[in-house]
Amino acid sequence: MPISTDHNPGKYDDLCTEVREKAQAMGAVIIIFDGNKGNGFSIQLPFEQLLKLPDVLEDVAKGIRKDLERA
């Protein structure tokens, strides 16, 4: 079972669980902007994958920046 980075359930943990289960994935990360519970995020990953998350997020950010420069 993936672990959450926070021992207390966050406001979007239920949604993250639903997404992870529907995708039949080992983990999921969701970021919510202006949702019905406000802004927030939830991370459910095995610890080994959690260690890789900062690098993955940096790669995503670089890709977004490149796309925005072309827009």
Query: Is 5 exposed, middle or buried (CB count within 10 Å of its CB: 0-12, 13-18, 19+)?
Result: middle
Q: In a 3-state reduction of DSSP, which class is residue 69?
A: helix
pTM of the full predicted structure? 0.77
| Pair of tokens at residue 69 | 């420069």
pLDDT of residue 9: 77
Numbers of helices and strands, H then E, in the chain: 3, 3
Per-residue pLDDT of the chain (71 residues; tens, 9 = 90+): 445 445 567 899 999 999 999 999 999 999 999 999 999 999 999 999 999 999 999 999 999 999 999 98
pLDDT of residue 10: 84
- Contact of 12 with 41, CB cutoff 8 Å: yes
Alpha-carbon gap, residue 46 to 48, rounded angstroms: 6
